Structure 1
């Protein structure tokens, strides 16, 4: 996640490095369009790995409840993409800090994007446990990318408001719950 987001940001640094709003929008677009499919695939792969290893019988004998057992296996996979996103965001903020004019960094959008990445990894983990197919992870990533792209760029109607990817004008700050 870290390498992908840093590479995506560095590719067009002349477009976003001059202002905080442009930096926020660039990281938001990268996190949703590139990070969510990657988090979905990572979660799905880890969930499928647990199913392939046959840990269901082992977990059935454990003292923990189902939710605790699920979270013990799914949270590490869900938190690593958020950590990579946090480091990539910090690096882009450092790259913007010395040449930004006017505005300030907004913390709400990166926090909400990190929550979206964690949710995507958890959803992918559930799909990985339920679908017994090795190609589920890459196909889930492609499906996530297509769905987010259609909702973000096309005329999605009522479903467009549910998408974590909605472009905002560079002179306004999105509401805290938008991502």
Structure 2
């Protein structure tokens, strides 16, 4: 008898039928079983936010979710932001506003911001800072990250 479970994940529009142990995290399944390595693992305790992805429209820390909990879900990772060679406005704004240094936290911030903007495209600065404060950046500080997300929000509203 197998202790693995068959599940289906749709990641960035691509269907993945995989077999996982019940205790495998969504982050590990995305990276190891499905090959989408843009989702980073930092603390693996849900604190840093580097593993943030969007599952059925909700931002989640993929290190805290089991892959079996996402069976049948539609998942977006950082690789799903750009459309072909065209970067998402958030990605462009991160570059233009120097909102990354080492880049380790960037996928999590991009997905956190994308989900927040989808839910509330007209966030106040206070709301934006509150949302972004849930992820950790060890290099750049947060000022340029906030500026980048605000810039992208303004561009997307125009």
TM-score (norm 1): 0.27
Structure with the higher fraction of residues in strand conformation: 2
Structure with the higher fraction of residues in helix conformation: 1
Q: From the CA coordinates, give the structure whose radius of gyration is larger.
A: 1
TM-score (norm 2): 0.29
Give the structure, 1 or 2, with the largest relative contact order (CA under 8 Å, sep 6 or more).
1
